[in-house]
Amino acid sequence: MMTTLIDDQVQQVPHYWRRDLLDQAFWNQPAETMSRENLDAFAFRKLVSLLRYVRATSRFYRELWERERFDPESVKDLADFKRRAPVTDKADFLDFQLEEPPYGRTISLPEEFLAHHSATSGTSGMPFNIPFSAYDTERYGESWIYGWWALGIRPTDVFYFAFNWGRYAGFWSAYWGARRLGARVVSGGGNTTSEHLIAITRDRPTVLIATPSFALRLAAQAKTEGIDLSSSSIRYTYHAGEPGPCSLASVRDRLDEAYGAISGELLGVAELDAIAPGCPGRLGVHMNELNTVSWSRDPLNGSEVGDGEVGENVITTFVNNAQPLVNYNTHDLVRAYRNSIPCGCGRTWRYLEGVVLGRSDQMITVRGTNVYPSAIENILYRIEGASDAFQLVLTRDTEKDSDEITVRIEPEPEHDAAISEADLADKIRQRLVEAVGLRMAVEVVPIGSLPRSELKAKRIQDDRPTGLQRELDRG
Ligand SMILES: [Zn+2]
């Protein structure tokens, strides 16, 4: 039997194949369960070295710090750093990359030291170029393992990557992680949706790596082809790139049911790291505190907000030697806990409840009410008869000085023909009024008419004159 063979091999191989280590709850048990005091002391020591390195190697930060009169040698502790170190964001980097492509003055290593080039999946405007050293790729890849391991994935698992090998950093780093874990990788590069299904049936992978929307699309295709994925070899599905199982309970339930498996989620920011592995409780993620130091910033006055309050996630990464990012504002709104962690999984790393709640630069104001598109997504996922193929179209009513949202949505392929499209639109309109308090235009469109992607589904189309398009392109 296969099981016996593997067990025999496990006996003979030392290190992480040791049975007691395989039974550990966490990939790096001591680091993931360290006390807050020790985590902070550790982070500060690393921060001091990082600031020296960055000042010595990055023209971009040296000039910024001189201009802002920030002396990295004068930082007394973490609180002092958060208060005084200049906050940067993607826009700063894009300007300099445009000036001297591909990386300009934001790079810290000679180009011959680079091991990998990546870029954000920008669909409009300029892609953000991301260089990696060999060391960066090792650490970035390992970031994925913390989440996989806590969910139950082990070196004996077989990964199937349902995506094409483009410039997008997210799944390249997952590949580096799978290698570091010691698992077997099966590439789905170049496959059509049907070919993915054939490969899953034939190669019998146990872990599926895909964006949540593509995993659901694959499941829908399987249904139409009469393939039952819930009895396939897949035991875990793991996702990034869009709100997934730790962000939205509705997405989690759909994925778990479609694959008869456990779904998990990682929060990554392409230019930073696979920053936050999923909590095994699947109601949030934990910031990787070996690789980052992070805090929540009040978007209005820039001060640090307390545990449980919503703020922008500002991150310094220790693992991007090629293009360092210090006090980098992701503009992701998070509800974070660093002092007492409410999830109860045992990990002490800073916890983001509900993952990303919205973007500080993406809030829409419709007739005086503030709305985050992610909140609308969550509601749409839960409506029976509606599929996960939808789009929010943002327009501007200049006369009323108001943003407007139109929801375009495809019905579920097998939805009961007795429910007309008009009734479905009514139902969605009604649900949105109840949940958000706003009446929105809803258009039920033919199946297959909305754009599809194997990466992030482009769910927001911003047709407003002063578009916020750039912010939507975050890799
Ligand atoms: Zn947890």
Beta strand segments in 182-228, E: 184-187, 207-209
Cα–ligand 1 centroid distance for 351 (angstroms)? 7
pLDDT at residue number 123: 40
pLDDT: is 196 or 446 the higher one?
A: 196
| Residues comprising the chain, all counted | 475
Cα–ligand 1 centroid distance for 176 (angstroms)? 24
Cα–ligand 1 centroid distance for 135 (angstroms)? 28
Q: How confident is the model at residue 5 (pLDDT cuts 50, 70, 90)?
A: low
134-169 tens-digit pLDDT: 999 999 999 999 999 999 999 999 999 998 778 888
Q: Taking every pair of C-alpha atoms in the chain, what is the biggest distance, in angstroms?
A: 74
pLDDT at residue number 125: 56
pLDDT at residue number 388: 79
Cα–ligand 1 centroid distance for 62 (angstroms)? 37
Cα–ligand 1 centroid distance for 283 (angstroms)? 8
Cα–ligand 1 centroid distance for 471 (angstroms)? 29
Alpha carbon distance 171, 364 (integer Å) = 30
By percentage, how much of the chain surpasses pLDDT 70?
90
Alpha carbon distance 428, 415 (integer Å) = 14
Please name each of the domains of the chain with its CATH number: 2-34+134-359 (3.40.50.12780), 364-472 (3.30.300.30)
Cα–ligand 1 centroid distance for 401 (angstroms)? 43
pTM score of the predicted model: 0.79
pLDDT at residue number 78: 96
Cα–ligand 1 centroid distance for 352 (angstroms)? 9
Alpha carbon distance 159, 161 (integer Å) = 6
19, pLDDT greater than 80: no
Count of other CB atoms within 10 angstroms of residue 415: 17
**127 within 8 A of 167, measured Cβ to Cβ:** yes
Cα–ligand 1 centroid distance for 66 (angstroms)? 40
Cα–ligand 1 centroid distance for 450 (angstroms)? 36
pLDDT at residue number 468: 39
Joined tokens for residue 290: 């070996």
pLDDT: is 164 or 239 the higher one?
A: 239
**What's the whole-number mean pLDDT along residues 74-88?**
96
Q: How confident is the model at residue 471 (pLDDT cuts 50, 70, 90)?
A: very low
Cα–ligand 1 centroid distance for 148 (angstroms)? 13
Cα–ligand 1 centroid distance for 36 (angstroms)? 15
Cα–ligand 1 centroid distance for 396 (angstroms)? 40
Cα–ligand 1 centroid distance for 35 (angstroms)? 14
1, pLDDT greater than 50: no
Cα–ligand 1 centroid distance for 262 (angstroms)? 16
Which range has the top average pLDDT, 119-133, 414-428, 454-468? 414-428
**455 within 8 A of 164, measured Cβ to Cβ:** no
Cα–ligand 1 centroid distance for 277 (angstroms)? 9
185, pLDDT greater than 90: yes
Q: How confident is the model at residue 2 (pLDDT cuts 50, 70, 90)?
A: very low
Cα–ligand 1 centroid distance for 386 (angstroms)? 32
pLDDT at residue number 97: 86
Which range has the worst mean pLDDT, 138-147, 333-342, 402-411, 453-462? 453-462
- What amino acid is encoded at 475 in this protein? G
pLDDT: is 390 or 185 the higher one?
A: 185
Which range has the worst mean pLDDT, 153-157, 283-287, 316-320, 415-419? 415-419
Question: Which residues, in sequence order, are CB contacts of 159 under 8 Å at separation 6+?
Answer: 174, 178, 183, 184, 185, 186, 205, 206, 207, 209
Cα–ligand 1 centroid distance for 308 (angstroms)? 15
Helix (H, G, I), strand (E, B) or coil at 388: strand
376, pLDDT greater than 50: yes
321-351 tens-digit pLDDT: 999 999 999 999 999 999 999 999 999 999 9
Q: How confident is the model at residue 54 (pLDDT cuts 50, 70, 90)?
A: very high
Cα–ligand 1 centroid distance for 46 (angstroms)? 24
Cα–ligand 1 centroid distance for 344 (angstroms)? 6
pLDDT at residue number 4: 52
Cα–ligand 1 centroid distance for 285 (angstroms)? 7
pLDDT at residue number 475: 36
**175 within 8 A of 166, measured Cβ to Cβ:** no
465, pLDDT greater than 70: no
**What's the whole-number mean pLDDT along residues 259-276?**
95
pLDDT: is 273 or 468 the higher one?
A: 273
Alpha carbon distance 162, 213 (integer Å) = 12
Q: How confident is the model at residue 112 (pLDDT cuts 50, 70, 90)?
A: very high
Cα–ligand 1 centroid distance for 342 (angstroms)? 8
Nearest to 319 by CA among 167, 134, 150, 170: 134
367, pLDDT greater than 80: no
Cα–ligand 1 centroid distance for 336 (angstroms)? 12
